[in-house]
């Protein structure tokens, strides 16, 4: 008898690349992982990468470069001044992001440092759509105060709104009314918003921010770290953009800003590098001068020529529609699996990561016993999958009062590097999350026993309360 098999539902995408080089992974035993986790003080940043099986700590500098990017590494012009790779990078930035002037930096925070130093005066307020760790710290070190003006929906992990990165325009207007436009050096726009769960900001909201800023004579600076992924979400979710390329959306979006800081380690798929860009000639002069003090000459700014070449090529590849669709598609694949199994994650699924809702996992743990820190540790203990805390530890302390910031979002980030892992790795990860979810009632809190002054989440140490 003939079997009448129904073909499986067709997938909408497959990876638009094939594998040319592989890096072997090591599996470890639970006993070994228990030892490693205790030695690391329950902080996944303090594990050795050797002891990790699937590394979802971050998508920063961890992507796989293409054959063309590797070929570009051999074309490095390591001249101290005027390297040809700098001009290639400048051309890529001008073409795809549209800014006139480029100042290369060693990575994103180098650009944040320069911008903050140049524009922020003590006592200034810098509004943004939710904080980012390094961005806010540089604003504070320059004497400024970060003011969160993101839409309230962003603080609710279950809210399904498509653009949870949008600004609350009323909050922005209120702030300008309170402190005056003269005390706001720029509006800092994150796209996508990392700490909200990789959530995008819409073109319409960005345009409204631009109009409001122009009306008050305030600059708009973009954190363009994942602006390509943001452009993809605009294409997919915002009416009127579905037939456009990601590249053309990115250009229109950036054109609404005066410049940007950029970590090339994310969208641009390089292991190191970043830049500051702007349209204003005077501001460029200042930045090109200051970069010499902190990073390097204005035509390399902390990068080798080969790194600039790899980034120029990475930018071209990053805006390819097939690439972004597959990249975000893989994140959605993992997230959808967890949703189907009833596991609490931030919705909608973000662009670069799936964020587990640790408050919903461990409602019995108070926030100052670090539920997300515990959840990241449990995941590692279960399978060797490494994730990152994005909750109270990352939020740090209020510089004025010295108290913890208590963010409403207490999350664990499963961050997917670009072009690195397969769907099978996503399946293994999902099953491990499910196993940790099964045992959620047994989880104990943590106590912080070492706390560094700056960006404590990188190096803080904890002990288990059991
Ligand atoms: C990573 C990141 C930065 C900082 O970039 P680095 O290259 O790590 O210094 C800034 N903003 C956002 C949103 C980021 O994700």
Q: Which of 259, 285, 318 is the last residue of a domain?
A: 318
| Catalytic (active-site) positions | 80, 132-133, 223, 266, 390, 457
Q: Residue 259 has what pLDDT? A: 98
Same domain, 275 and 142: yes
Same domain, 99 and 150: yes
Q: Quick one: which of 100, 74, 109, 37 has its CA closest to 379?
A: 37
Calculate how far, in angstroms, residue 243's C-alpha sits from the geometric centre of ligand 1: 30
Q: Residue 14 has what pLDDT? A: 84
Nearest-CA residue for atom 5 of ligand 1? 108
Same domain, 156 and 176: yes
Give a yes or no: residue 11 inside a domain.
Answer: no
Same domain, 234 and 336: no
Count of CA atoms in the C-beta half-sphere (13 A) of 449: 12
Report pLDDT digits (tens) over 55-95: 999 999 999 999 999 999 999 999 999 999 999 999 999 99
Q: Residue 466 has what pLDDT? A: 80
CB 109 near ligand 1, within 6 Å: yes
Give a yes or no: residue 17 inside a domain.
Answer: no
Give a yes or no: residue 367 inside a domain.
Answer: yes
Same domain, 44 and 148: no
Instruction: Give the position, in ligand 1's atom list, of the atom nearest the Cα of 111.
Output: 9
Calculate how far, in angstroms, residue 394's C-alpha sits from the geometric centre of ligand 1: 13
Q: Residue 3 has what pLDDT? A: 60
DSSP secondary structure string for all residues of 388-436: EEESHHHH-B-TTT-PBP--S--EEEEE--TT---HHHHHHHHHHHHHH
Same domain, 125 and 94: yes
Please give the structure tokens belonging to residue 52. 């990790």
Instruction: Give the position, in ligand 1's atom list, of the atom nearest the Cα of 195.
Output: 13
Nearest-CA residue for atom 6 of ligand 1? 108
What residues contact 329, with CB distance under 8 A and at least 6 apart? 12, 13
Give a yes or no: residue 268 inside a domain.
Answer: yes
The domain that contains 346 carries what CATH number?
Answer: 3.90.1150.10
CB 107 near ligand 1, within 6 Å: yes
Same domain, 256 and 335: no
Q: Mean pLDDT in runs of 10 for the chain (466 residues)?
A: 64 85 95 97 97 98 98 98 98 98 98 98 98 95 97 96 98 98 98 95 98 98 98 98 98 98 98 98 98 98 97 98 96 97 97 97 97 98 97 94 95 98 96 98 97 95 92
Predicted TM-score of the model (pTM): 0.95
Same domain, 161 and 47: no
DSSP secondary structure string for all residues of 150-192: B-GGGG-TT---TTTT-B-HHHHHHHHHHH-GGG--EEEEESS
CB 194 near ligand 1, within 6 Å: yes
Between CA 289 and CA 283 the distance in angstroms is 10
Report pLDDT digits (tens) over 304-318: 999 999 999 999 999
Q: Which of 318, 353, 380 is the last residue of a domain?
A: 318
CB 105 near ligand 1, within 6 Å: no
Q: Which of 318, 347, 368 is the last residue of a domain?
A: 318
Q: Quick one: which of 430, 459, 460, 457 has its CA closest to 194?
A: 457
CB 190 near ligand 1, within 6 Å: yes
Task: Please state whether the peptide bond connecting residue 348 to the residue before it is cis, i.e. omega within 30 degrees of 0.
Answer: yes
Between CA 389 and CA 372 the distance in angstroms is 5
Same domain, 43 and 81: no
CB atoms within 10 A of CB 213: 23
Same domain, 161 and 281: yes
The domain that contains 140 carries what CATH number?
Answer: 3.40.640.10
The domain in which residue 368 lies consists of: 30-52+321-464
Compute φ and ψ for 263, nearest 5 degrees: -100, 110
Beta strands 125-128; 145-148: pairing state: parallel
Between CA 201 and CA 210 the distance in angstroms is 13
CA distances from 382 to 16, 346, 387, 435, 441 (A): 32, 22, 12, 8, 15
Domain count, the chain: 2
Give a yes or no: residue 5 inside a domain.
Answer: no
Give a yes or no: residue 129 inside a domain.
Answer: yes
Same domain, 48 and 75: no
- List % helix, strand, coil for the chain (3-state, nearest 5): 45, 15, 40
Q: Is 374 exposed, middle or buried (0-12, 13-18, 19+ CB in 10 A)?
A: buried
Calculate how far, in angstroms, residue 225's C-alpha sits from the geometric centre of ligand 1: 6
Same domain, 398 and 311: no
Give a yes or no: residue 390 inside a domain.
Answer: yes
Give a yes or no: residue 439 inside a domain.
Answer: yes
Q: Residue 10 has what pLDDT? A: 67
Count of CA atoms in the C-beta half-sphere (13 A) of 423: 10
């Amino acid at each position: 008898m003939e079997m009448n098999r129904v073909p499986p539902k067709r997938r909408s995408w497959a990876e638009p690349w094939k594998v040319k080089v592989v890096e072997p992974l090591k599996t470890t035993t639970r006993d070994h992982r228990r030892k490693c986790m205790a030695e690391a003080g329950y902080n996944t940043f303090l594990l050795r990468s050797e002891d990790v099986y699937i590394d979802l700590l971050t998508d920063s500098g961890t992507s796989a470069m293409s054959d063309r990017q590797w070929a570009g590494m051999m074309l490095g012009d390591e001249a101290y001044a005027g390297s040809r790779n700098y001009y290639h990078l400048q051309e890529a930035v001008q073409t795809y992001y549209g800014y006139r002037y480029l100042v290369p930096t060693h990575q994103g925070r180098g650009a944040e440092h320069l911008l903050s130093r140049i524009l922020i005066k003590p006592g200034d307020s810098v509004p943004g759509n939710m904080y980012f760790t390094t961005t806010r710290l540089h604003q504070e070190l320059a004497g400024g105060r970060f003011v969160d003006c993101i839409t309230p929906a962003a603080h609710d992990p279950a809210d399904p709104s498509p653009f949870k990165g949008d600004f609350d325009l009323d909050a922005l207007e209120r702030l300008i009314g309170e402190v005056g436009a003269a005390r706001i050096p720029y509006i800092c726009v994150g796209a996508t918003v990392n700490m909200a769960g990789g959530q995008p900001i819409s073109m319409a909201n960005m345009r409204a921010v631009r109009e409001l800023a122009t009306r008050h004579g305030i600059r708009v600076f973009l954190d363009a770290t994942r602006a390509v992924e943001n452009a993809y979400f605009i294409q997919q979710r915002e009416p009127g953009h579905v037939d456009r390329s990601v590249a053309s959306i990115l250009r229109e979006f950036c054109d609404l800003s005066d410049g940007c800081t950029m970590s090339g380690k994310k969208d641009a798929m390089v292991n190191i590098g970043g830049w500051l860009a702007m349209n204003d000639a005077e501001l460029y002069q200042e930045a090109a001068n200051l970069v010499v003090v902190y990073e390097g000459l204005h035509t390399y700014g902390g990068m080798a020529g080969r790194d600039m070449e790899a980034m120029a090529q990475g930018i071209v590849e990053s805006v390819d529609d097939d690439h972004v669709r597959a990249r975000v598609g893989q994140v959605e694949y993992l997230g959808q699996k967890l949703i189907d199994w009833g596991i609490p994650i931030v919705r909608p699924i973000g662009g670069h990561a799936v964020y587990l809702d640790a408050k919903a996992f461990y409602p019995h743990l108070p926030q100052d016993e670090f539920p997300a820190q515990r959840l990241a540790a449990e995941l590692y203990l279960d399978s060797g999958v490494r994730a990152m805390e994005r909750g109270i530890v990352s939020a740090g302390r209020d510089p004025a009062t010295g108290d913890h910031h208590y963010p409403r979002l207490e999350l664990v980030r499963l961050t997917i590097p670009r072009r690195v892992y397969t769907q099978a790795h996503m399946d293994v990860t999902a099953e491990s999350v499910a196993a940790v979810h099964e045992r959620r009632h047994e989880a104990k809190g943590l106590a912080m026993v070492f706390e560094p002054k700056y960006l404590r989440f990188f190096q803080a140490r904890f002990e288990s309360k059991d």
